[in-house]
Amino acid sequence: MSATLRWLTLDFAAQRSNIPSMDLSTIEPDRRYSYAEIAVLTGLEVSTLRSYVVRKLMPKPGYWDAPDRPRWSGQQLIDWQNNRPGQGAPGRPKRRWSR
């Protein structure tokens, strides 16, 4: 692995471990949340959340109110928060970096 590729890979892993956590007490399990609402809950930018969906660091939306308006249930967000990579998810093997 080249030094540049190794640096980029390590940088990406560091970004994943620094994802802010949500206050789960403010999430209503039966409510549907938009990107903007999740951004407020997490302190992340909407563009960051969109990239998480593409990179599969966040679950796919459970609902589509319109073709361009994805929504997540509160329960999906709670499950994502509890099982997300970089937050000490149980049973997830540690990644080994080759030299």
Nearest to 65 by CA among 34, 30, 39, 36: 34
Ordered DSSP codes for 62-84? SEEEETTEEEEEHHHHHHHHHH-
Which one has a higher pLDDT value, 75 or 14? 75
- Per-residue pLDDT averaged across 73-82, rounded? 90
Grouping H, G, I as helix, E, B as strand and the rest as coil, residue 97 is coil
Domain boundaries, the chain: 3-83
Average pLDDT score over the chain: 74
pLDDT at 20 over 90: no
- What pLDDT, in 10s, does the model give residues 1-10? 555 444 444 4
The span from the CA of 27 to the CA of 86, in Å, is: 21
CATH of 3-83, one of 3.30.70.2860, 3.40.80.10, 3.40.50.1980, 1.10.1660.10: 1.10.1660.10
- Structure pTM? 0.63
